[in-house]
Each structure stands twice: as C-alpha cells, then as structure tokens.
Amino acid sequence: MSYVLRYRIWVATALVGIIGTNILAVAVPYILRDVVDIGIAKQDSAYMLSAGLLVVGLGLIRGVTAFMGRFFGERLSHVVSYDIRNEIYDKVQRQSFTFHDSAQVGTIITRAISDVNELQRYFSYGLMDGLNVLLLLTGVVGIMLATSPALAIVAYVPLVPLVIYSQRFVMRIHPRWKKVMDRMQVLSNHIQENALGAEVVRVFAREQHEIERFHKENQKLYEEQLDFITQWITYLPISALLAALSTALVLLFGGLLEAAGLGNISVGLIVTFNAYVLLLAQPLRFSGFMILLTTQAIASGERIFEVLDEKDLVVNQGEAIKHKITGHVRFDNVSTQYRSSSHAIVNDISLDAKPGEVVAIIGLTGSGKTTIANLIPRFYDVTAGRVSIDGIDVRDFDLHNLRSQVGIVMQQSLLFSATIEENIAYGDPDATGAQIVAAAKSANAHDFISDFPDGYQTMVGERGVTLSGGQKQRIAIARALLIDPRILILDDATSSVDTQTEHLIQQALERIMEGRTTFVIAQRMSTILKADQIIVLRDGEIIQQGTHQTLLADGGLYEEIYKLQLEEQERVRREAIIAGIIKIPLEERRSTAQFRALIDRLAGKYSP
C-alpha cells in the first residue's frame, strides 16, 4: 500500500469520486419513498415531476463522480504496477552473480509480469471497488437503521452467514491461488529452458519427450486452476441466494408490519428498503470477486517481495572511490564461497600482476578459474583476504567506475538483438562511427562485417544467432576494446572455434592485450605460452606458479594438463602453420625466434 501513498493527489481525487458516487447512490432510494408516499399516494404530479428532475440531476452529477473515481483509480493502479515492475527490473540488474546463480529466468519473468498484473488488477478493482462497496454498505446500513431498525435487522439476517462464508472462502482460496502461480512459474521456466535448449532437444530427437513433459505440467496447472475456479464459482450462487433472501424478508415482514400499522412502516418505506437491498445485492455478490482479487494480490505480493527484499550483496560501500586505474592487481590470501555452498570455491589465493603483465590461469574443470577472474570486477565478494587494484581494495571502488575499466571477453559471448554497431558500442554508447570501425578492425571483425549487405547496421538476431561462433567472439573483442580497459579478462575466449578462426582471434587478442594487465583463463596452448606467469589451480588452491618453461621443468599437474590437453593442440597448430593452413605474416615470422625453432624441428616432415 505504500506504493499507492506516493500519489496522494490521485488517491484523494479517486476517493472524492467514490464518496460522491455513494452519497448520490443512497440518496435516490430515499427520494423514491416520498415519490410513493406523496407523489403517488396523494397524486401530486408537481412533486413527482420535481422529484424526477432531481433524480436526473443527481444522475448527471453521479456520472461525473463515477468518472473521477474510476479514471483516477485505474490510473493509480497502472502507475503502481509500473513502479513495481521497474523496481523488480532494477533489483535484478543490481544483483550480484550470486543471485543469478540460483535464480531461474522464468521465475523472474513470471514475477515481473504475471504477479505484477495481479497487483494491478487488485488496485484497479479489488481496492477501489472494495472501498466503494465498504462506503456504500456503511451508508445504506446507517440510513436503514436510522429509518426503521426493525426492518433493517430483518434485511441483515441473511448477511451474517454471508460474512462467515466469505471468511471461510478466503481461507480456502488463498493457498489454491498460490499453487496456481507457483505452477505457472514452473511452466514458464520449462518454456524458457526449452527455447534456449532447442538445439539439444533436436540433436537427441527428444521432441516428443519434451512435449509430453510439458503436457504433464500443463495438465497439473489446468487441474489446479479448475480447483481454484470451482471454489470461486460456488461462492457466487450462494451469495446471490442470500441477497435474494434478504429482499424476500424485507417484502414479507415489511408488508406484514405495514398491514398491521406497526413500526411506522409505509409502502414507500418498503420500496425504499427494497431498493437499498437491491443496491447492496450487486456489490455483495461482487465481494466474492474482490476477495478473489485480494487473495491473488497477497499471494503475488509475497512472491514479488521475495525478489525486492533480496539483499544486495555487492554494493558501493560508504564513500566509493573513483580512480583511473593503471592495472596493478593483487590477491592477498583470498578465499570465497558461493552462498549456496558450504565450502570455499577458491581458498587462500595470493598473486601479484603488475601493470601490462599477462597472467594465465589453468586447471581442471571446477578448480575455480572463472571465480578468481570474477573477483576482480566484484561480480562476487571475497569472504576472506583482499583483492586490490593499484593498492585500493576493490570493495572501496565505485562499482560503475571499476567495471567500466575492466574489459571481459567470455567463452560464450552474448550479443543482444540489435545491430552489430550497437553491440560493439554497448559499453560506450557515445562512441563515434570511426571508433567503432577502429575497434572492429583491431578485433579482425571489420572484413566480415563489411561483407554483410547492411554492414554495421546488420541485425544479429537473438543472442547473435545469425553469426558464427568466431564472428560473435570477434565482435565481443571489439566491444571490450572500445571501452579501452586497463584490465582485460579473457575467459577461454578461443576454446570454441576452429584453428584458423582461433588464429584471427589470437591476433586480435594480442593487439588488445598490449599495455594492459590481462588475465587469461585458457584451455589452448597458444594463449599460455606468452604469459608472464601461469597459475595452476586444483580444488580452488594454487598448486603451481611460474612460466611455461619453469612449470614444464617442475612437472606436476601443469605437465599432466599440457600432455593431456595442450600438447596435441600445439602440435596440430604448428603443423597447420607449416602446411600453410594458417597464414602468418612474414614480418611476424621473422620477429619470432620461437617460430624459427619450430620450423627447424618440423621441416623434415614437409621436405618432400
């Protein structure tokens, strides 16, 4: 309700409209009493004419007040849903990776769309019409009691079981609606998961299995909705029956009292009471719908605030520092663990990367390579130790300032449903066309972009589906290069491409790595050989550290990884170079002593 109170003027205007409408509504039956008792009984046509004109005038005024109540009530409901939906989206954008590790995309979508829609319907109908019914009920009850207490009590007798039944109805309906919304969330997650995994489903010919699985979940949703609707529908005829019973009692007992000359009951008063009962009948029947909307809003509100009340784990602390970094990165006895994990993902990590150095991080799957890199831009926070840049703890940096100076190229780079130009300029929307083209050229992307009919204005489709893996990677490299980062993180950026494309990407990476502190999470030998230091991880701990030559001489896990995963890659790449599959510029060959040594060792194979 605090969201409604932000718009007090709209609330006040809607309330004025609702109150005015109800005052005018209860006034008309009161006029009818005198029309019957004076106008009809005494055949006073002048009074009837004036009463008729008065009713018409009140009707016109009531139209204005009804418009005020409905228009501003509707506007209020939509602006509240607008605010809440924005808050959910803002909350999700601010959350750390810890939140997204456990949150399902379908769940977030359901709460931001379906649950917010339920709140909007409540504020539009449940709250405003609920106030309308409450005010109408109060006015009618007061007038009926003041006019004829005996006849009023007779009219209210059927309302007591209606109130009791309504309370029980609420108790039954609330858990059922929550089950419906939870099932809707499961269904949304299923659709989202299968839309993203469509290729896997087709590859393994599991379409029928997925169809049947969806049908089962959909059947459960149907049954739960049917159970929910059944409960609600049974409420409507019972409420209608009780309202009709109230009308019957008024006519019966009112007629008996009037015939006996008791209680100062007149025919006009019976007509008036009957009009009041009919005036209450529709709102009382509608009260079941209002109870339904309220129940749905409570259930949806609980689900929405599970997101909004989620604690922001990574935020600016105090007077956040804005600093132009040079790229000196230190890890001092760093440990961290995920919120859902009981053990540390990385443990007691210490390393020192000076500005411009290249640090390669390797290890078996699950050893914590990506986690270490994610600590630098504060995607996660350490649970022990300290990560610093230029001597400043990363937790003291302004988050936007820090992340705007860290470039990241991921293994599977996401592109947005926009043009190539917009994707490259994502980190710097104010970049000029010349800067975008320069970044694309440095990333070896300009040539293939220029081959498209629309060039840089080519739409890439959802998640860049219209581009190959290597093309997406080169656009991602251009995107990282455009922001001119002082620290660069390459998360296995060449693992999913062919050898020729890898070489093109590698050339681009070498250009953007120059002069920048670079952390390379690598599975390919070509990205490790030139590293200033190599970190070897196992179970979240550094077990070896040094250069390629020193680590090979030391043996251990690095040598095992090299022989199992990297040696063959490097052999194939060398032979491809010799065979001419990969073209190396002449000046690059002459400047690389290591390349000349490889030529000498492998030339014998190709001497024929």
Q: Which helix (H) or strand (E) holds 351?
A: strand 346-353
Residue 581 has pLDDT above 60, yes or no: no
pLDDT band of 608, cuts 50, 70, 90? very low
**Per-residue model confidence (pLDDT) at position 79:** 92
What tens digit of pLDDT does each residue of 47-70 get? 778 878 888 888 899 899 989 988
State the CATH class of domain 407-484: alpha beta
pLDDT band of 350, cuts 50, 70, 90? very high
State the chain's mean pLDDT as an integer: 80
Which among 187, 173, 191 is positioned nearest to 220, based on CA atoms?
A: 187
What tens digit of pLDDT does each residue of 38-53 get? 767 677 777 778 878 8
**Per-residue model confidence (pLDDT) at position 590:** 44
Whole-angstrom distance, CA of residue 524 vs CA of residue 495: 7
Provide mean pLDDT across the span 244-272.
80
DSSP characters for 36-54? IIIIITTT-HHHHHHHHHH
Whole-angstrom distance, CA of residue 231 vs CA of residue 215: 24
Whole-angstrom distance, CA of residue 179 vs CA of residue 206: 29
Provide mean pLDDT across the span 349-362.
91
Instruction: Name the E strands within 447-574.
Output: 487-491, 517-521, 533-538, 541-546
Whole-angstrom distance, CA of residue 235 vs CA of residue 247: 19
* Interhelix angle 499-513/469-482, nearest 10 degrees: 0
Whole-angstrom distance, CA of residue 407 vs CA of residue 469: 19
Residue 604 has pLDDT above 60, yes or no: no
Q: Which helix (H) or strand (E) holds 349?
A: strand 346-353
Residue 386 has pLDDT above 90, yes or no: yes
**How would you classify the pairing of strands 517-521 and 487-491?**
parallel
**Per-residue model confidence (pLDDT) at position 376:** 92
| CATH of span 4-308 | 1.20.1560.10
**Per-residue model confidence (pLDDT) at position 387:** 94
Residue 553 has pLDDT above 80, yes or no: yes
Whole-angstrom distance, CA of residue 25 vs CA of residue 9: 24
Name which residue leads in pLDDT, 6 or 283: 6
Residues 528/362, Cβ–Cβ less than 8 Å? yes
Which among 299, 8, 342 is positioned nearest to 182, based on CA atoms?
A: 299
Which among 198, 547, 178 is positioned nearest to 358, based on CA atoms?
A: 547
What tens digit of pLDDT does each residue of 179-217 get? 887 888 788 778 877 776 776 777 677 788 888 888 988
DSSP tag of 123: I
Which among 268, 224, 259 is positioned nearest to 39, based on CA atoms?
A: 268
Q: What three-state secondary structure class fits 66?
A: helix
Residue 595 has pLDDT above 60, yes or no: no
**Per-residue model confidence (pLDDT) at position 92:** 84
Residues 526/573, Cβ–Cβ less than 8 Å? yes
Domain boundaries, the chain: 4-308, 407-484
Residue 442 has pLDDT above 90, yes or no: no
Query: Buried b vs exposed e over 417-447: b needs ≥16 C-beta within 10 Å?
Result: eebbbbbbbbbbeebeeebbbbbbbbbbbbe
Instruction: Name the E strands within 413-529.
Output: 487-491, 517-521
Please tell me the least confidently modeled range out of 6-20, 218-232, 318-332, 516-530. 516-530
